[in-house]
Amino acid sequence: MIEKIDRRKLLRGTVSLGALTMLTGCDISDRQSVQSVLRTVSGFNDRVQAALFDPNRLAPTYSLAQVVKPPRFNAYYEIENVKPIDISGWKLELSGLIADKRPWSLEQIYAFPEQEEIIKHICVEGWDYIGQWSGPNLKQFLTAIGADLTAKYVYFHGNDDYTESIDMASALHPQTILATKYAGEPIADPYGFPLRLRTAVKLGYKNAKWIRAIEVSNTYEDGFWEKQGFNWFAGM
Amino acid sequence: MSVANADLVTHAAAPRMHPLILRLMHWTNAGAMIIMIMSGWKIYNDEVIFGFLHFPEEIVLGIWAQHALQWHFLGMWILVLNGLAYLTFGVVSGRFRRLLLPISPREVIREAIAALTFRLKHADLTHYNAVQKTLYVGVILVVILQVISGLAIWKPVQFSYLTALFYNFQGARLAHFIGMTAIVLFLLVHVTLALLVPRTILAMLTGGPRVETDHAETAAPIPPTSNL
């Protein structure tokens, strides 16, 4: 008798447990209390990833034959809404913990020693492609402008109200470049002309396109995707 | 009868089949697994591997992909830390050796046929048959592989040697998907069988029958229930 009641209770309990997991129609993910827990864990994961990051470990590189042309477009809007940059009078602005803040013309950037990287671009969504990028090595560039290499963050401000920052260790990684070319040609408009970040050690969204300004700082601020809950470090 | 009384005393002192620590780890793992599977489905939907397969929004965790990723990288810690504790406990306490080994292939085949024709008995909770042993050992190995392929996806540069085990990044994603499928299939069987023999659920909540420490064979047999 007792066993029967227990069994019925158990069955009912199990069924309601199962039903609970199916009730994600009223997803709690964006509740403030839940978000604060999830974002705290994401912040902890930033520190874990920084500890896992080996500044000397190189990402795999690929052959010319594996390069995908054209590269894959991605932004927070569709490709037809890309607003090409008016290149007349374009300058790269510099701010923050930098000794020489004079803006750079495109000619000056093109004259800077070029580094080529055939690396994988991996998007947080799960797709990837192999691309051939070239432009100034970021560490050399930061050194040339007298940036404080002991600062914590390097910010990249895009022309489309898109800001993303990376940690200094990743900025100084040998496979982090300010790309001006794809497959040997100036990067086409939809992929970030005239200047974008390409680093082999971060997910796609950290690679700001259409860069108009670079800032070196010790102050943390959420970038475009972090505001929406994506992880900041986004290391590979 | 005095013999029976002596028996009772021994059994009152004997530990339960599922000690409290194991029950806590079991339900912690169940929660972590549900978080990982449902958030994983949402992450998958952002870039499907198979064009015909999208997981319905009603059964995923996370309104947007970023929520699903937040859940996934929280669940990861619960799953891994709890899993390491479970594996350590299973080895050190001798539970794995006692309950899951040895597995005889002949018995597996015989009992699988019996199970499929609904002739497999599970009267004694303290003893796992060959099919159960295979499923449990199998799912433990799949979860370990799932952690490895997960790390290969999370850190394809820092752990590039892990990613290479699966050929490349997409290979690791595919392996992670197949692992999830295997775990979900296991869960369907596991939960169905548990519901068919509800005493097993009760045992995982309250500890179940008392067993002798050295060999479960001498445990008091459970009276078979009439309505199974």
Q: What is the pLDDT of residues B152-210, one digit of tens each?
A: 999 999 999 999 999 999 999 999 999 999 999 999 999 998 998 899 999 999 999 98
Question: What is the 8-class DSSP label of residue A57?
Answer: P
Residues from chain B contacting residue A19 (CB–CB below 8 Å): none
A176 within 8 A of A135, measured Cβ to Cβ: no
Q: To the nearest whole number, what is the mean pLDDT of chain A?
A: 92
- Phi, psi angles (nearest 5°) of residue B103: -115, 120
Query: Residues B207-210: contacts with CB within 8 Å, 24+ apart?
Result: B207/B16, B207/B17, B207/B18, B207/B19, B207/B20, B207/B23, B208/B16, B208/B17, B208/B18, B208/B125, B208/B126, B209/B16, B209/B17, B209/B125, B209/B126, B210/B11, B210/B12, B210/B14, B210/B15, B210/B16, B210/B17
Say whether pLDDT at B227 is over 50: no
Tokens of B96: 């794995």
Is B55 near chain A, with CB under 8 Å?
Answer: no
CB A53 to CB B195 under 8 A? no
CB A124 to CB B65 under 8 A? yes
pTM metric for this prediction: 0.88
Say whether pLDDT at A209 is over 80: yes
Q: Distance between CA A213 and CA A197 in Å, rounded?
A: 12
Residues from chain B contacting residue A47 (CB–CB below 8 Å): none
Residues from chain A contacting residue B34 (CB–CB below 8 Å): 21
Tokens of B215: 């060999």
Residue pLDDT, tens place only, B75-134: 999 999 999 999 999 999 999 999 998 888 898 998 888 888 877 776 788 888 888 899
Tokens of B54: 């999208």
Is B61 near chain A, with CB under 8 Å?
Answer: yes
> What is the length of chain A?
236
CA angle A223, A56, A168 (to 5 degrees): 30
Write b or e for each residue in B199-226: b if 16 or more Cβ atoms lie within 10 A of its Cβ, otherwise e.
bbbbbbeebbbbbeeeebeebbeeeeee
Residues from chain B contacting residue A41 (CB–CB below 8 Å): 70, 73-74, 77
CB B195 to CB A45 under 8 A? no
Say whether pLDDT at A202 is over 50: yes
Amino acid (one-letter) located at A188: A
B89 within 8 A of B28, measured Cβ to Cβ: no
Q: Which residue of A has its CA nearest to B65?
A: A125
